[in-house]
Structure 1
Amino acid sequence: MAELIKMPKMSDTMQHGIISRWLKQVGDKIVAGDILAEVETDKATMELESYEDGTLLYVGVSEKSAVLVDDIIAIIGAPGEDISDLLAEQAASKEGVQSAPTTASEIPSTTSPIFVATAIVPTIEPADQPQPLHQPSDRFFASPLAKKIAKEQGYDITQIQGSGVSGRVIKKDVTHFFANLLNKVAGLTARLSGKETYQDQPLSSMRQTTARVLTASKVAAPHFYLTISINMDKVVALRPELNIHAATKISINDLIVKATALALKRHPKINTAWLEDKIRFYQHVHIGVAVAVEDGLLVPVVHFADQKPVAEISKEVKLLSQKAQQKKLTPQDYAGATFTISNLGMLGVESFTSIINLPASCILAVGAVQQIPIVQDNQIVSAYVMKVTLSCDHRVVDGAVGALFLSTLKELIEQPLSLLL
């Protein structure tokens, strides 16, 4: 008997998925465990695995199209099996119900930006046109999807700078190239026509989810903020020596993750979650580390961070960050954070506040390490100082509780050797 293949819920916030690529075609023999397609969710690109044996009889969704969770995307059955009644039954069940968006134009994607301008399209002079980046004798690498998009847009892919391994051109390189070219045309159009122009960027699944989740958090949780300054002189002095002996380069953020995990063990009221009818006190420490990606923000998780040495945390954070950039995070990689750290210090931001990643009770915003004058022993001296701000859900955490946590965190970071014991 034919079996319906439905769009699974691949993350806790997923509402729809986009079929990036079908790996099987109608008529192909399917064995349980085969990968049917690649699905782009709000957090990663994941593989859709078949749990049925048989023949792929029907594919109801084209590539680059979006499907709501639990909607039919394919049918597997016996070779030659009649599925017309099954399809009719499914169509009848949807009759009178507003149809879900099914194309990339109806569900926002990041394939390419939409440019809205006047009808005047100037000619780009030869000097403005991109020149080939690769000589004919060069060995050139590009993903099949990148080649397909470039061909559809009518561009020579050798003009595009690759950002993948060994300079490999990938999808985002092509879409960025196209967007930049549109911007150049927009600028020329505006100058020649004197008319106002703009560019609309469709919302990605990730951006929609981020907007929905953070808005809900800001509305539901009464946030308050506590900021403290931490002397980083000993950390700055210790890092170069650590990295002489460490197998992987240890960052200041790695030390902050470890210090935060240890501080949470001493202050269990911070390592909590609001669950409407109760407060959950976690006895384990899973630190979410916010990572900025092209489409928004992902928060992969370092599990049991308090039990791991700094070198292991460093290696894990680097791996998770790389997977996040490549949209290859698994649900296990981003599930279960009991506390989150968001660090913009490497971008020069002195201090900021973050929105809590519910249901957790707190999030830590980390600013830049700055060399500034301070008063020490009645003298003005130069010191490295970092500001951190703790956002707290007042339903769970009171001001004094948050302040005591920050005091312990400050103590641990200012004595970094304690993090290595």
Structure 2
Amino acid sequence: MAILLRVPEVATGSTEAVLTEWLVSENSPFEAGAALAVLETDKAAVEVEAETSAVLLRHLVDGGSTVEVGAPIAVLGAVGEDVSAVLAELGGNVAAVTAAAGAAGAAGGTAADPAAPARIFASPLARKLLKEAGIPLEAVAGTGPNGRIVRKDVEAAIARYEAAATAAATPPAAMPSATVLPAATPPASGPPTAPADAAPAKRPGAGFTEVPHSRVRAVIASRLTASKQTVPHFYVRRTARIDALLDLRRQLNAVSPAKISVNDLVIRAVAVAHVAVPDANVIWTDDAMRRYDTVDIGVAIASARGLVTPVLRNVSALSLSAISAQVKTFAQQADEGRLLQRDLEGGTIAVSNLGMYGVDEFTAIINPPQSAILAVGAGKPGPTVVDGELQVATQLTLVLSVDHRAIDGALAAQWMAALVTAVEEPLRLVA
């Protein structure tokens, strides 16, 4: 019997997503677990997987359409099965459903008017990206069905505009209050430039520049504000000597094809501390404390698209080279916008490292529902007393932000002691 495929909840609290592309065409069979379509949320792309083997009989919405959670997007069943009965549940036939989907995709469309200019079709995602970039629809040629503007068209247009901006002349020093906007290079069918008030620009005499919020930046702001307002943070600070750690890193990199960073070693040390103090490997829920069997650690990555924190799984079982390779993969996927929703979920703790920027120390905001985040500063030489003698050692400042609902002060101090021991005695990281 034919059934409807509906939009799953792709992220906690989400009400809609963009169906960016179909991975299975109409009348094509698929196996259980196969990816049928890709949904895009504010921060990641999520594949819709099949629960059972079947045939995708009919697409009910086009790629690029905005869809609500629970809305039907396709009809599944057996080869050649009649879909009319299923479509009747929607209160219409195939044509009506397809027309409704097309109307939703062409946001702001109106009835045909012979005297009106030709309507430009674009997916909601394409429209949103163009608005954020300050590029008018008319400046982009669509390559999708019926000339529809899709994501790859937007990315190509943005690349052209960025190239034009790079080649633009620098404003003269005698006119500091004005910024010369770069001349765009739109396709032949479009207007010569984007509207000045649509692009991020410093207006003459205004004294400031307004840059519209990206979707990722808006989500980051919302989540971190909620975290700081609802999660009772407290902080534990320790300083660790890392000369032995740096020496181990040099030895490893002399023989390893994958270069190990200090951050990779710190991530491994966090896993060692979690194994030593398992009561810290928890998160708070309204009904119970949830304790995890594996150590999953988030890694804060400042990508070209914004801050993301993908999660490394079962870090206590990973080698240093495996940790290094996975972090590099996450960084590349973050820059390209290819992180999946499942990459961003889970974990009880995250690591945020600003040491490469020369920051001595800082405190980070917890990424809910995780219970802690470790802020890592720069390793710098300084005086320290060892066995009663004053010595110079490379010291690293570590600040742990903790959710007091899940972890008490004494437990946090015990965990930090285990972390510092792992960092100062780095052979524990390769055991």
- TM-score of the pair, normalised by structure 1: 0.70
Which stretch of structure 1 is more off in the superposition, 407-416 or 317-326?
Answer: 317-326
Using a 3 Å threshold, how does the CA distance of structure 1 residues 265 and 324 change in structure 2: closer, same or farther? same
Write out aligned runs for 1:38-57 (5 A): 38-49=38-49, 53=54, 56-57=57-58
- Give the structure 2 partner of residue 282 of structure 1: 292
- On the 8 A contact 2:132/2:212 being kept in 1, the answer is yes
Q: Secondary structure at the match of 1:257?
A: helix
- On the 8 A contact 1:66/1:107 being kept in 2, the answer is no
Q: 2:153 aligns with which of 137, 148, 169?
A: 148
- Give the structure 2 partner of residue 131 of structure 1: none
Using a 3 Å threshold, how does the CA distance of structure 1 residues 23 and 202 change in structure 2: closer, same or farther? farther
- On the 8 A contact 1:113/1:199 being kept in 2, the answer is no
- On the 8 A contact 1:226/1:390 being kept in 2, the answer is yes
- On the 8 A contact 2:243/2:393 being kept in 1, the answer is yes
Query: What letter is aligned with 1:19?
Result: L
Using a 3 Å threshold, how does the CA distance of structure 1 residues 152 and 249 change in structure 2: closer, same or farther? closer
Which stretch of structure 1 is more off in the superposition, 147-156 or 351-360?
Answer: 147-156
- Give the structure 2 partner of residue 93 of structure 1: none
Which stretch of structure 1 is more off in the superposition, 224-233 or 335-344?
Answer: 335-344
- On the 8 A contact 1:287/1:301 being kept in 2, the answer is yes
The Cα offsets for residues 280-301 of structure 1, whole Å up to 9 and x where unpaired, read as: 3334322222223334333222
CA drift at 1:254: 1.0
Aligned-residue CA RMSD in angstroms? 4.4
The Cα offsets for residues 248-297 of structure 1, whole Å up to 9 and x where unpaired, read as: 11111111111111111222232122122332333432222222333433
Using a 3 Å threshold, how does the CA distance of structure 1 residues 403 and 111 change in structure 2: closer, same or farther? farther
Q: Secondary structure at the match of 1:19?
A: strand
In 2, the alpha carbon distance for the partners of 1:203 and 1:189 equals 18
Q: Secondary structure at the match of 1:31?
A: strand
Using a 3 Å threshold, how does the CA distance of structure 1 residues 224 and 42 change in structure 2: closer, same or farther? same
The Cα offsets for residues 290-324 of structure 1, whole Å up to 9 and x where unpaired, read as: 22333433322222222333222222322333333
Using a 3 Å threshold, how does the CA distance of structure 1 residues 279 and 177 change in structure 2: closer, same or farther? farther
Write out aligned runs for 1:21-420 (5 A): 21-22=21-22, 28-33=26-31, 36-49=36-49, 53=54, 56-60=57-61, 62-75=62-75, 81-82=83-84, 85-88=88-91, 109-113=128-132, 115=134, 148-149=153-154, 155=160, 190-191=203-204, 194=205, 198-204=209-215, 206-330=216-340, 332-371=342-381, 373-376=382-385, 382-420=392-430
The Cα offsets for residues 317-362 of structure 1, whole Å up to 9 and x where unpaired, read as: 2233333333334455344312221222223332222222333322
Question: How many residues were matched structurally?
Answer: 367
- On the 8 A contact 2:282/2:292 being kept in 1, the answer is yes
In 2, the alpha carbon distance for the partners of 1:58 and 1:187 equals 38
Query: What letter is aligned with 1:282?
Result: Y
Query: What letter is aligned with 1:71?
Result: A
Query: What letter is aligned with 1:411?
Result: T
Which stretch of structure 1 is more off in the superposition, 12-21 or 260-269?
Answer: 12-21
CA drift at 1:394: 1.4
Using a 3 Å threshold, how does the CA distance of structure 1 residues 303 and 345 change in structure 2: closer, same or farther? same
- On the 8 A contact 1:58/1:76 being kept in 2, the answer is no
Structure 2 unaligned regions, length at least 5: 94-103, 108-122, 136-148, 167-183, 187-192
CA drift at 1:380: 7.0
In 2, the alpha carbon distance for the partners of 1:153 and 1:314 equals 32
Using a 3 Å threshold, how does the CA distance of structure 1 residues 56 and 225 change in structure 2: closer, same or farther? same
Which stretch of structure 1 is more off in the superposition, 329-338 or 339-348?
Answer: 329-338
In 2, the alpha carbon distance for the partners of 1:336 and 1:86 equals 37
Using a 3 Å threshold, how does the CA distance of structure 1 residues 49 and 339 change in structure 2: closer, same or farther? closer
Using a 3 Å threshold, how does the CA distance of structure 1 residues 49 and 351 change in structure 2: closer, same or farther? same
Structure 1 unaligned regions, length at least 5: 91-99, 117-143, 162-175
Identity value in percent: 31
In 2, the alpha carbon distance for the partners of 1:154 and 1:360 equals 37
In 2, the alpha carbon distance for the partners of 1:188 and 1:413 equals 47
Query: What letter is aligned with 2:232?
Result: P
In 2, the alpha carbon distance for the partners of 1:189 and 1:212 equals 26
- Give the structure 2 partner of residue 19 of structure 1: 19
- On the 8 A contact 2:203/2:209 being kept in 1, the answer is no
Q: Secondary structure at the match of 1:260?
A: helix
Which stretch of structure 1 is more off in the superposition, 300-309 or 322-331?
Answer: 322-331
Q: Secondary structure at the match of 1:297?
A: strand
Query: What letter is aligned with 2:203?
Result: A
- On the 8 A contact 2:366/2:373 being kept in 1, the answer is yes
- TM-score of the pair, normalised by structure 2: 0.69
In 1, the alpha carbon distance for the partners of 2:159 and 2:301 equals 34
